[in-house]
Amino acid sequence: MSTTTERPAPAPTTAPAARPAKVRPRGESGPLARTLSHAALALAGLIALFPVAWILFVSLGPDKTDYLHPGQILDKLTLSNYQHVLADTDFFTWFGNAVLVSGITTVFGVMVAATTGYAVSRMKFPGHRPLMWSLLVTQMFPIAVLIVPMYTMLSELGLLDSYTGLILVYSTTTVPYCAWLLKGYFDTIPVEIDEAGRVDGLTPFGTFWRLVLPLARPGLAVAAFYSFLTYWAEVPFASTFMLSSDKYTLAVGLQTFVSEHDAQWNLMAATAVLIAIPSAAFFYLVQRHLVTGLTAGASKS
Amino acid sequence: MSVAVQGATGKGSRERDQRPGPLDRLKRSYAKHWYAYAMIAPVVLVLGVLVLYPLVEGVWLTLTDANSLNTARTIGVNKIPASYDFVGFHNYADILWGPGSYDRFWSHFVWTIAWTGICVSLHYTLGLGLALLLNKKLRGRAAYRMLLILPWAVPTFVTVFSWRLMLSDGGVVNSALSALHLPQPGWLTDPLAQKAAAILVNTWAGVPFMMISLLGGLQSIPAELYEAAEMDGATRWQQFRHVTLPGLRTVSSTVVLLGVIWTFNQFNVIFLLFGTGAPDAQLLVTWAYRLGFGQIPRDYAQSAAYGVILLSILIVFTAFYRRWLARNEQANG
Amino acid sequence: MRRGIAASALVVALAVSMAACGSSGGSGSDGKADGPVTLTYWDTSNATNEAPNYQELAKKFEAANPNIKVDFVNVPFDQAQNKLQTAMGAKGAPDVFRSEVGWTAAFAKAGFLEPLDGTPAAADTSTFQPSLIQQAKYDGKLYGVPLVTDTLGLLYNKELFAKAGITTAPKTWDELRTDAAAIKDKAGVDGFWLKAADGYYAMPFLFGEGTDTVDAAGKKITVTSPEAVKAVETYKSMFNGPGLAKADVTTDAYAHMMDAFNSGKVAAIIQGPWEITNIYKGSAFADKNNLGIAAVPGGSGGKAGAPTGGHNISVYAGADKAHKAAAEKFAAFMTSAESQAFIAQKNSTLPTRSDAFTADVKADPGIAGFQGILNSAKPRPELPEYSSLFSSLGENLGKALQGTATQDALNTVATDYAKLLPGFAK
């Protein structure tokens, strides 16, 4: 179901963070401890950076076996791989497909899930617990549970190799996941707001739509970002269900460069860099929100 | 809606004399439930159609001998109907104790459990260590933070390929080891080293998430607690043991559960690092995928059966984990 | 809520309409009988070396048949079988495609292929090599037209062999092992690299002991026989010794092996003709005559044998009439003597019909070399599942190389085979 780690804690996580508490005021560490800390962080930073830097380096070598003798790359640095990928492959198509599929999945997931998140957060109704339980269990689904029946069903409906099919498959995880995440966010919005709405004579739905939803925009954004980042990088379903190269997402397209009998590692590396740049840029742009989403959903439980 | 009404009346008669304002409550809960059901309807619909139905279909397939030769196929205008048969629990029996079940299932099972345990421990300890360092007042903290979340920022389907280049026989990792006169394991070849390589890559990719979550947890521990501990003359270690760890308990329990689920279900790292090779390093989930889609003819029934077994393991684990947490909570007051 | 519903309805509508766009084209469309037809052709040849030449051929076909357009799609060979399996059973299948000889019978059995008997595609089958035609049949009907054929041979670097004072290619695995040690000693590079954990590349060892994975005629699984065990012992011995490259079981092993051979870091490999154009590009083979081609070494009895590979062109049974007719024409064109000779000269692969071996084709040293060893190629038994047998064999040979006992590994293979081949005795 999930790719490595691109999901936050869907459940409320921390103790109340009413005011960003000031941390560890005194007791600053001595110079030795500080140097050690710097050394540890620098080392960890280097390890974090290296694989990304390495693929950037390999992408500058023109031959497909350059990665086996990286020393030679320095003598023949070139951007020809990028030129080839951008001009002669379906890179932009794949990019567009990935944006399209994960974008629609995200919008659909957030929209469908919003009211449910609110209902689960505010109302105790018969069926509440089973629903929460199914939302949780769905997130545990290993891809192996659904991939076979999904495949046979999509095959019978003629939806293999179509965007719709992939979006439907992605919705199986994104909808419950967004509902769960949004429930966490709605929990942080004070109940007094709802009560004020009711005093003003609004129906529960009116309260949700006019008062709570506008306040929950950051939560919606976080759910959307996570959903987008997850499906942007989804591998198994896209690799299995998409057949024609003009419908590949980036995660599938990238694999085509390294088929067993004709592995073009140089082109793969260049494509990888071209994918990594916008992905990382987007991630860094929204990461502040993501982190708030992780730690904020909390004040109630 | 009718369910809401029934539920409400059913309860109403019993609760009438226990709580004040029963009529009022009844009315309000009726109204509430009405809206609640309307609001959850879209998700229930999606879950029912897209999750429950395929799940039932999947479970049904595990009780058959479905494979790519006997499932329904559409060949142009020609439709060949499915011709697989019901075989009862044969698939489960075959997986769990059929001939060669050790190679096919139990070896992957043991490895999956070990993989999950080792990866999550490494994620957690390294993530916590880095979070503690980042929580100090250090110059360049923001820069370190940016750098350290890079493995999370770049999708794994990109970075795993980079690792595959680095770990290959003539790759940069072994070149470095050779320059240092250290042994050079066949990271992608030798069964034991394959597992080490997989854990290495997954740890690299998974630490930032833990680090950031735990950092958030650390920052929400009130400074007063540390001040009070300092006044009591607590050492650094005692502060860590008695203030930091308890303060992180809620975050930890959640991220560890998530970490276990994700790591157990991890697909990309193994699939992209080893491709069709490395039968020993396959986790249950990638193995199930391989049975269903990585071989010809495809064994749909067994692949789905692996899926059901995997899900059962996770559900049982989660139930125990939550119970254990609840007990722990009580024990710790 | 209304706005919400409207918006989600919009999304769904959008998704559906996109799907509709997506599903047009491909095979299902109902082209008129004599109107222009667009054929989708899946090519599985090497995208850098071979595919451009096939594409050129497809262009020639378009020029000769103005009513037919060819949508030429290159699909990586290692993914093609799986994709075809998915597409032909559901949607998005090509009208005509290049099918590995081992897939043809299996696809035909599943009902995916159109029989070609009596169509233009099968017009001159008499000039084709009979065993290749036989291989393309299932249940008495022809389901593919042989496009290229190949077998495995021992490819060696003559210069490195000469450095070690060796002038003739080894005849048995034992000789090869001795030669490899000598090359390591004299030339300082590895003498032999065998692609590990790959069932197809292990077949010469079984044939060398006079056995096979299964006895198709006798309905018996023979992979656990004493001969097979002996073959696997020999197989294992080719990875462990002076001058023998250690087993590389990674997904990138193929690329590593070719890189080492092409750059002169290993003196001999077992390989087929499809790599010859690549090899000629390598630094060690700037002089084409440096490449030696010999039959695969033999086993203990001196017998040698290699599997017959190659590709057919097959037509999808789900295409409509107009597409099928066009596809049959296309198959005939691609396999014509002229086309085959063209491809042979460009790609150094072997034609499947006698009249394509023109003087020019025979002048190619790579083709001449492989033509000489074609008679050691064993035709495949008539068993649709035969090509599915390689993967379990390869995987378990990989395990055997890493410490599993030979007999245990082969027993696992036999268990897998028993599932694939109900009705076969162990």
pTM of the model: 0.88
* C23 lies within 8 A of chain B by CB: no
Mutation site, C3, C23, C55, interface A, largest A CB count within 10 A: C23
Rg (CA), chain A: 23
Q: Exposed, middle or buried by CB within 10 Å (0-12, 13-18, 19+), for B313?
A: middle
pLDDT, residue A293, reads 61
Question: Within chain A, what is the greatest distance between any pair of CA atoms?
Answer: 75
Dihedral angle over CA of C113, C378, C194, B193, nearest 10: 50
Residues of A in contact with C12 (CB under 8 A): 108
The nearest alpha carbon in chain C to B104 belongs to C412
Rounded-to-5 percentages of helix, strand, coil across chain B: 75, 0, 25
Residues of A in contact with C8 (CB under 8 A): 108, 111-112
CB contact under 8 A, B280 and C318: no
Q: Of C131, C129, C151, C148, which is closest to residue C293 (Cα–Cα)?
A: C151
Strands C137-138 and C377-378: unpaired
Coil, helix or strand at residue A34: helix
- pLDDT, tens digit (0-9, with 9 covering 90-100), for A268-284: 999 999 999 999 999 99
Q: Compute the distance between CA of residue A84 and CA of residue A81 in angstroms, rounded to an integer.
A: 5
* B214 lies within 8 A of chain A by CB: no
CB contact under 8 A, A123 and B36: yes
Residues 230-289 of B with CB under 8 A from A: 230, 247, 250-251, 254-255, 258, 261-262, 264-269, 271-272, 275-276, 284-285, 288-289
CB contact under 8 A, B191 and C402: yes
Q: Compute the distance between CA of residue A276 and CA of residue B155 in angstroms, rounded to an integer.
A: 7
Structural contact between residues C130 and C139, judged by C-beta atoms closer than 8 angstroms: no
Q: How many CB atoms lie within 10 A of CB B324?
A: 11
* C240 lies within 8 A of chain B by CB: no
Helices and strands (DSSP H and E) totals, chain B: 18, 2
Residues of C in contact with B189 (CB under 8 A): 247-250
Per-residue pLDDT for A40 more than 50? yes
Dump the DSSP string for B156-186: HHHHHHHHHHHHSTTSHHHHHHHHTT-----
Task: Output b/e per residue, B239-249; b: 16+ Cβ within 10 A.
Answer: beeebbeebbb
Residues of A in contact with C259 (CB under 8 A): 65, 68
Provide the token pair at C336: 């014509």
CB contact under 8 A, A9 and B220: no
Chain B: give the shortest CA distance to residue C7, in Å. Answer: 14
Mutation site, C2, C14, C262, interface A, largest A CB count within 10 A: C14
Residues of C in contact with B71 (CB under 8 A): 89
CB contact under 8 A, B54 and A149: yes
* C88 lies within 8 A of chain B by CB: yes
Q: Of C395, C402, C403, C384, which is closest to residue C223 (Cα–Cα)?
A: C395
Dump the DSSP string for A59-103: TT-SSTTGGGSGGGGGGG--SHHHHHHHHHSSHHHHHHHHHHHHH
* C89 lies within 8 A of chain A by CB: yes
> Chains contacting A with at least 3 CB pairs below 8 Å?
B, C
Residues of A in contact with C83 (CB under 8 A): 243
Q: What is the DSSP letter of B295?
A: S
Provide the token pair at B126: 């390294």
> What is the pLDDT tens value at each position of chain C, 426 positions in all?
344 444 444 444 444 444 444 433 444 444 444 579 999 999 999 988 899 999 999 999 999 999 999 999 999 998 899 999 999 998 889 999 999 999 999 999 999 999 999 999 999 899 999 999 999 999 999 999 999 999 999 999 999 999 999 999 999 999 999 999 999 999 999 999 999 999 999 999 999 999 999 999 999 999 999 999 999 999 999 999 999 999 988 888 998 999 999 999 999 999 999 999 999 999 999 999 999 999 999 998 888 999 999 999 999 999 999 999 999 999 999 999 999 999 999 999 999 999 999 999 999 999 999 998 988 899 898 899 998 899 999 999 999 998 899 999 999 999 999 989 989 998
Q: Which residues pair with C316 in a beta bridge?
A: C113
Coil, helix or strand at residue A262: strand
pLDDT, residue A68, reads 83
Coil, helix or strand at residue A9: coil
Residues of C in contact with A100 (CB under 8 A): 18
Q: In this complex, which of C112, C250, C318 lies closest to B168 when CB atoms are compared?
A: C250
CB contact under 8 A, B78 and C317: yes
pLDDT, residue C30, reads 42
Structural contact between residues C73 and C94, judged by C-beta atoms closer than 8 angstroms: yes
Q: Which residues pair with C98 in a beta bridge?
A: C313
